[in-house]
Structure formats: C-alpha cells, structure tokens
Structure 1
C-alpha cells in the first residue's frame, strides 16, 4: 500500500488490527515491511521483481522455495 504524501508513517501493528475486523484471519499478512518508496521502472511502474528479491533477502528465505 502506498501512503498519501504528508500522512503519518504506517504502523505494522495498526495495519494488522485494522485488517483483523475486515479480513479472514488467513488473509492478514504475517509480515509487514514499511519502506519509504517503491522501486520504480523508468516508465513509472513498480518493480515487483525487485520488491520480491528484497523480501526474500530480508526474511532470509531461499528464493528457490515454492
């Protein structure tokens, strides 16, 4: 999710509490990592591959796991 400019930073626990009343328990994310900005392509699209790679590295996962 992207915060609007000028809004307070996102608190991971507050996000989970908000989702708790609105989503099934299995749909609530286990991990929340807050970043200042998303990696972007030259055309302005989010580089999802880079985000996945950073998540794998951050969580210490093997990128070959299913």
Structure 2
C-alpha cells in the first residue's frame, strides 16, 4: 500500500539507456547497506522501499521523501 507521500519511479526505464537492469543495482553491497540504513531511518520494512513486478509490468522503485539515491 502506498501513501500520498511516496514517489514511484520506473527503475527499468531509468536503467535502460545504460544497458543495465535494476536487479544489478539491487545486488550491490552498497545498495543493500543503503536500503538497510534507509529502512532503519524511516522505521519501515525494506519491502516498503522497493517494489518489483515481473511480466508486462515494469520494475518500480519506491523513493520515499528525502531519499535522493537511486
């Protein structure tokens, strides 16, 4: 469930010009550390920060207010 303060971006479309896939970014140790820290700061489970879908739907990254890293 998304609240009115969340911002959704299409990570697949953002990564496409660089010939990358969001899953590559999500596997980086620095990304894992970042998401764990953001989860602690926001007092929100990590699954509330990143949403992925498969098939005909794009991968979506949930950037909460104040989050500038992608």
Q: Higher relative CO (CA 8 A, sep ≥ 6), structure 1 or 2?
A: 2
For normalisation by structure 2, the TM-score amounts to 0.29
For normalisation by structure 1, the TM-score amounts to 0.30
More strand by share: 2
Larger Rg: 1
More helix by share: 2
